[in-house]
């Protein structure tokens, strides 16, 4: 159970109602966007449910797979959020326009919590993307550490075309992955990036035929789990910190992490 996050009442909403399925099998958690008839459109309740999963992830979980049921990974924010009526129990952008700036920003920050935990060093998150990943869908894929795309995947940062900005944590990973110029071009044209290009510019680790997506995710997950857990956590922490450190600082961080590893392994 989770709590509706944005506007409206704070009523309890079941994960089924927010369009998510969540399964844990040993060290692997799988989150499935599960409203295929609406192309897995996301609401604030979806993001609240994602945050709830992150807050309560069982300690043994090492890999989190984020996938979508049906033809599309996700068509982004539920377009009802742009209507005056909004989504029942969750309000709308129109009703949020009356909030003062800081109240609105708090609500966005609450929604962002659903995405941010996917970068935690103690897990590796993998997005398995087929079909459309638009707006919030693209940002959810970007929130993951790794992306495997089906060859029919189409990524689009549509927000600027709708008069909005991408605000669900996607701008930083996008710039980190493709560079500032390409990120500006992709966002400000709101064009579609197809799978082959996505792989070429660093938005995907792997592109496979649509039917092979589940098998490719299984293979990657298996390979990730074959690595020593503590070494994986420490290495991810090192890699995540690298861009913010000088070479000397990074070398010192490597030495610190290695000292801890050697102590754990040999003392």
Which single residue is written with the structure tokens 């990973």? Answer: 173
Tokens of 256: 């610190």
Q: Are 67 and 33 in contact (CB under 8 A)?
A: yes
38 binds ligand CAA per the rule CB under 6 A: yes
Give the nearest distance from C-beta 37 to ligand CAA in angstroms: 6
Nearest distance in Å: CB 139, ligand CAA: 7
29: tokens are 């958690």
Strand duo 20-25 + 12-13: pairing: unpaired
Please give the Cα distance from 68 to 70 (Å, whole number): 7
Task: Give the nearest distance from C-beta 159 to ligand CAA in angstroms.
Answer: 5
Supply 143's token pair: 């929130």
Comparing CB distances to ligand CAA, the nearer of 72 and 90 is: 72
Specify the residue, 71 or 121, whose C-beta has the smaller distance to ligand CAA. Answer: 71
Interface residues for ligand CAA in 118-137 (CB under 6 A)?
132, 134-136
Residue 71 sits in the site that holds ligand CAA (CB under 6 A): yes
Helix (H) or strand (E) holding 68: strand 63-68
CA–CA separation, 201 vs 241, rounded Å?
22
Please state the three-class secondary structure of 134-166 as a single string: ECHHHHHHHHCCEEEEECCCEEECCHHHHCCCC
If you search the block for the tokens 């993307």, which residue do you land on?
A: 129
- Least gap, CB of 75 to ligand CAA (angstroms): 3
Kindly tell me the burial class for residue 135, based on how many C-beta atoms sit within 10 Å of its own C-beta (0-12, 13-18, 19 or more): buried
Q: Which is nearer to ligand CAA, 210 or 261 (CB)?
A: 210
Residues sharing a CB contact under 8 Å with residue 184, sequence separation 6 or more, in sequence order: none
Could you tell me how far CA 118 lies from the centroid of its own chain?
Answer: 6
Residue from 7, 19, 54, 76 in contact with ligand CAA (CB under 6 A): 76
Binding part of the chain for ligand CAA, among 10-18, 50-58, 94-102, 154-162 by CB under 6 A, reads 154-162
- Residue closer to ligand CAA (CB basis): 39 or 62: 39
- The radius of gyration of the chain from alpha carbons, rounded to an integer in Å, stands at 19
User: 179 is written with which tokens?
Assistant: 């560079």
> Segment near ligand CAA (CB under 6 A), from 33-41, 116-124, 238-246, 247-255?
33-41
Does position 164 interact with ligand CAA (CB under 6 A)? The reply is yes
Select from 148, 155, 159, 174 the one that contacts ligand CAA (CB under 6 A): 159
Length of the chain in residues, anyone?
267
Q: 29 or 66, CB closer to ligand CAA? A: 66
153 scored as a contact of ligand CAA (CB under 6 A): no
Determine, following the binding rule CB under 6 A, whether residue 39 of this chain makes contact with ligand CAA: yes
Q: Does 158 bind ligand CAA (CB under 6 A)?
A: yes
Under the criterion CB under 6 A, does residue 46 sit at the interface with ligand CAA? no
Instruction: Give the interface with ligand CAA as residue ranges (CB under 6 A).
Output: 38-39, 41, 71-72, 75-79, 132, 134-136, 158-159, 162, 164
């Amino acid at each position: 159970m989770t709590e509706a996050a944005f506007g409206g009442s704070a009523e309890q909403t079941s994960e089924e109602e927010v369009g998510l399925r969540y399964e844990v099998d040993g060290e692997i958690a799988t989150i499935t966007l599960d409203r295929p008839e609406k192309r897995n459109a996301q609401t604030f309740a979806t993001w609240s449910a994602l945050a709830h999963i992150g807050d309560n992830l069982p300690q043994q979980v090492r890999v989190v797979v984020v996938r979508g049921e049906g033809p599309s990974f996700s068509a982004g924010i539920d377009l009802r959020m742009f209507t005056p009526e909004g989504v029942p129990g969750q309000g709308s952008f129109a009703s949020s326009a009356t909030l003062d700036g800081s109240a609105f920003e708090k609500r966005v920050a609450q929604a962002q919590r659903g995405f941010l935990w996917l970068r935690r060093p103690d897990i590796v998150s993998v997005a398995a993307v087929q079909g459309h990943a638009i707006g919030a869908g693209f940002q959810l894929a970007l929130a993951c550490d790794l992306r495997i795309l089906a060859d029919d995947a189409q990524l689009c940062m549509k927000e600027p075309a709708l008069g909005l900005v991408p605000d669900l944590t996607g701008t930083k990973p996008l710039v980190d992955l493709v560079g500032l110029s390409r990120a500006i071009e992709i966002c400000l044209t709101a064009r579609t990036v197809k799978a082959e290009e996505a792989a070429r510019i660093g938005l995907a680790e792997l592109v496979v035929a649509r039917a092979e997506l589940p098998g490719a995710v299984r293979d990657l997950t298996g390979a990730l789990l074959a690595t020593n857990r503590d070494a994986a956590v420490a290495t991810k922490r090192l890699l995540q910190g690298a861009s913010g450190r000088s070479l000397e600082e990074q070398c010192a961080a490597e030495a610190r992490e290695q000292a801890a590893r050697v102590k754990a392994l040999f003392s």
